[in-house]
Amino acid sequence: MLVLPVSVFSALNYLQEDITNDTTWTIQDSPVYIYGNITVKNGATLTIMSGVEVYFMLVEGDGGFREGSELYIADGKLIAEGTQLLPVIFTSGGDIRSDGDWGCIAVEDDSVVNLNHCVIEYAKAGLIFWNLSSMSEMASSVNYCRIYHSSEVGILFYNSSPTINFNSIKNNRYGIQTQGLSSPTVNYNDICSNYSYNFRNLSGLNQDATSNWWGTTNINEIEANIYDYYDNHNYGVVDYTPFLESSYFNEGGIGDKSLGWLRSIFVP
């Protein structure tokens, strides 16, 4: 049973229906409240402009990729174009925000997502790439985003290998998790301060995670927060060298950062 808070009836810009035509949310539409699972389909494009705040309200029994309100790109495109000063914010609609308040943003198959200067926080899985086609992998991008406070994982890749650059992925249970035939390119990000592992590779493929900041330059500490072949021989290696020696992400800004010393990894 879908359970909605009483406050739903007082919201002005609330969404409970799928998006089947090209739609743009501007700052005049903000905030937008999402109740349950909202799907972008039929080839539609949802464009979200800078400064828009999207609140995922607390629901139960909705199904989907995860329990809780979700934005699901099933047959369409999501474009969220924030700026450093006015990011697009995807967050919990709870009065007191907690990790895992809502489900996820998920993109599947031939769908495309382009996120720039966004904040994704308090989800179960902030962003899920699921069975992306090669066209979607090449067309999708996530840049200059902050993905925080996910109760399960910041970004999950399942049979999907897009490129993820210039993001801050912190304070999640797992920062990044790869599964199936996934080998995303993950460079120039801050991936640190996640509770269990910063990078968890559950794929049999090796992962390119070079040129990231791991919160430290101590190799033992970096390795302790990466789960890969050296923890379970069924999985591939996470290649993290060379690594950055300081943060590359500064609240949306980037700069030249020196690379850590190369470490030889003997891939089985």
Per-residue pLDDT reduced to its tens digit, 52-97: 999 999 887 676 788 889 999 999 999 999 999 999 999 999 999 9
The first and second tokens of residue 164, run together, are: 């993820």
Q: What is the pLDDT of residues 252-261, one digit of tens each?
A: 444 444 444 3
Question: Which among 47, 182, 41 is positioned nearest to 106, based on CA atoms?
Answer: 41
Percentage of residues in the chain with pLDDT exceeding 70? 87
Q: What is the pLDDT of residues 196-230, one digit of tens each?
A: 999 999 999 999 999 999 999 999 999 999 999 99
Q: Which amino acid is at 257?
A: K
Mean predicted confidence (pLDDT) in 235-242 = 96
Please give the residue that has the higher pLDDT: either 252 or 193: 193
Q: What is the pLDDT of residues 88-108, one digit of tens each?
A: 999 999 999 999 999 999 999
State the pLDDT at residue 12.
Answer: 53
What's the pTM value of the predicted model, to 2 decimals? 0.88
Question: Which among 54, 93, 49 is positioned nearest to 71, based on CA atoms?
Answer: 54
Mean predicted confidence (pLDDT) in 184-198 = 96
The first and second tokens of residue 155, run together, are: 């970004």
State the pLDDT at residue 4.
Answer: 44
The yes-or-no verdict on residue 171 having pLDDT over 80 is: yes
Q: CB-hemisphere CA count at 13 Å for 41?
A: 7
Q: What is the CA angle 71-76-80, rounded to 5?
A: 60
Instruction: Report the C-alpha gap between 192 and 200 in whole angstroms.
Output: 12
State the pLDDT at residue 59.
Answer: 81
Mean predicted confidence (pLDDT) in 101-116 = 95
State the pLDDT at residue 23.
Answer: 94
Phi and psi dihedrals of 104, rounded to 5? Answer: -175, 170
